[in-house]
């Protein structure tokens, strides 16, 4: 499975330290960019070289919980294995240097589908922000954009969740919005 990423590798090198293989990348991310969400079976260290980034970390066994780490220039952070992570920038570009061990012949840049718990949590968070929406159409547009960002299997989970939510929703306005979502 491939993911969309605004990250561009501008340098990459493989090397050996203490008879262990490593890879080091220099990565550029454009303003308001995000890397693809992924995880590794080995620990990774990320150094913020230029700009500011935000590292979102989620354990693979409970992807509905998350931690946000702000990385400023010179900040070094160790990402433990088996943690989903995504790097984001805001208004400025960013250069980071991820370094990790590698195992020859083994791919260690892995992807995971969002769990049902995470999708339902993210939908609820989008709806709960309704104090900041000016209309039902804004909520509808936000939910449709979220749906379009999902992978095919995740879209199925979204659809099942939405069907259940339509049956149990007490707020008639939200029920109408849910029924209008184009999936």
For 75, other C-beta atoms within 10 Å of its C-beta total 16
Dist. CA 63–CA 31, nearest whole Å: 26
Indicate whether 130 pLDDT > 70.
no
Q: What residue has token string 């262990």?
A: 20
For 30, other C-beta atoms within 10 Å of its C-beta total 13
Indicate whether 167 pLDDT > 50.
yes
What is the CATH superfamily name and number for domain 7-101?
A: Jelly Rolls (2.60.120.10)
Give the pLDDT confidence of 70-110 residue by residue, as tens digits: 999 999 999 999 999 999 998 889 999 999 999 888 888 88
Task: Name the DSSP letter for residue 182.
Answer: -
Sequence ranges of the domains in the chain: 7-101, 116-180
| Amino acid 6: pLDDT | 87
Give the pLDDT confidence of 101-125 residue by residue, as tens digits: 998 888 888 888 999 999 999 998 8
The rounded percent of the chain whose pLDDT value lies above 70 is 97
């Amino acid at each position: 499975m491939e993911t969309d990423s605004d990250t561009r590798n501008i340098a990459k090198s493989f090397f050996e330290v203490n008879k262990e293989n490593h890879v080091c990348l220099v990565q550029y991310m454009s303003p308001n960019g995000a890397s693809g969400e992924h995880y590794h079976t080995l620990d990774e260290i990320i150094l913020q070289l230029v700009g500011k980034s935000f590292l979102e970390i989620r354990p693979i066994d409970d992807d509905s919980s998350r931690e946000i780490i702000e990385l400023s220039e010179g900040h070094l952070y160790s990402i433990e294995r088996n943690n989903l992570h995504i790097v984001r920038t805001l208004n400025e570009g960013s250069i980071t240097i991820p370094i990790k061990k590698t195992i020859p012949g083994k791919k260690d840049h892995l992807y995971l589908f969002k769990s049902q718990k995470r999708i339902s949590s993210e939908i609820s968070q989008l709806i709960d922000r309704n104090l900041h929406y000016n209309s039902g159409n804004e909520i509808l547009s936000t939910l449709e954009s979220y749906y379009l960002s999902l992978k095919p299997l995740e879209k199925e989970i979204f659809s099942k969740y939405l069907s259940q939510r339509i049956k149990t929703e007490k707020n008639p306005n939200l029920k109408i919005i849910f029924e209008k979502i184009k999936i």
